[in-house]
A and B are shown apart, each in its own frame.
Chain A
Amino acid sequence: MSLQNASGIERNAHHTESYARHPGLNLGAAHAQEEDTREEMVFGFWVFMMSDLIIFGLLFATYVTMLGGTAGGPGPKELFEMKSAFIETMLLLTSSFTFGMASLALKYREDKSRLVFWLVVTLLLGVGFLFFELKDFHTMFDKGGVPSRSGYLSAFFSLVPLHGLHVTGACIWLVALLGQMAVHGLDAPVKTGILRLAILWHFLDIVWIGIFSLVYLGGLS
């Protein structure tokens, strides 16, 4: 930034540039009022997500150390189904993309109907994911794969359902935000809420990459 060049365009460019400081979507100059609160809130939420990452990472490590502890019970090859894991992966990945579309609808259009449309699509995909995951657990129980059966299964059921629980929480949060939007419209708290939920949603998708790679594909190969 040269100081001599104080033309409006240059200043403006620098202005929007300085907004994009933290993860998730920067709302840009059109949302200046929300942008200031967003900075701290989103960064704080991001720090919290990192602590969640540590929990998941250690549960992954625990899972790996328990791979040999099947105690004569069923192991990954008997318990997992490739097709179901694939469907879950696709649902969650697509929901990450649709949430991105929702964020853009918020940033550029402030178009409530478009935003609600994408958020509802995201919610349905999230609920679909949970449905298939629960069906998976049910199949596992039928094959005798209950958490108390072996150390291996205890490790599995502390890792994968914890992710599912996070997704459940995120879905409930999404419903709450839709309710807030219906009552208050698109005010600043609702906007920052959506941005923080976006970070949680994308983060959960990243954790799922680890789960399908290590637990499902690693177990089936």
Chain B
Amino acid sequence: MSARQLDEHEARECRAEQRSYVWGFALALVLTLIPFALVAFTDIKQMTLWITIGICALVQVIVHLRFFMHITFAKNKREDLLLILFTVLILVILCGGTLWILFDLYQRMLPGMMP
């Protein structure tokens, strides 16, 4: 099968989608380089560093969802967004509960397990 000829509208659409992927890639690169550079070359306070790494990671996840997986706020995409948000809610309950219970236990019974 050879390449399909695109009409003007399709060609425009194709260029727009290509641009969107390139944007996503560029943003993801920047959001990857920032935390790596901070850990490798700087000596900022540990708490500030961790918060920065966390924020970069969260933003990059959103960038991936938006530019690579095409999850947007459009009305016809609501199902997917709701599915992700519901999954995240379940995860927050499970992970948050795990961390809370276990670190409480360590504090009371196993001080050696505190990192």
Which A residues lie at the B interface, using CB under 8 A?
17-18, 20-26, 28, 30, 43, 46-47, 50, 53-54, 57-58, 60-62, 64-65, 67-69, 82, 86, 89-90, 93-94, 96-97, 100-101, 104, 107-112, 114, 185-186, 199, 202-203, 205-206, 209-210, 212-214, 217-218, 220-221
Contacts and interface: CB of A to CB of B under 8 A. Distances in A.
B109 interface: no
Contacts, number: 150
Interface on chain B toward A: helix, strand, loop, or mixed SS? helix
Interface string B65-78: 10011110010110
A97 B69 CA distance: 11
Interface in B37-55: 39-40, 46, 49-50, 53-54
B8 to A, nearest CB: 13
Interface on chain A toward B: helix, strand, loop, or mixed SS? helix
B70 A86 contact: no
A53 to B, nearest CB: 6
B80 A23 contact: yes
Given A20-B74, A206-B65, A93 B29 contact: yes
B68 A60 contact: no
A53 B69 CA distance: 15
Given A69-B113, A213-B35, A54 B53 contact: no
Contact of B17 (A97, A104, A111): A104
A202 B94 contact: no
A205 B57 CA distance: 12
B66 to A, nearest CB: 11
A218 B50 contact: yes
B70 A58 contact: no
Given A20-B74, A24-B69, A60-B95, A67 B115 contact: yes
Contacts of B106: 68
A101 B94 contact: no
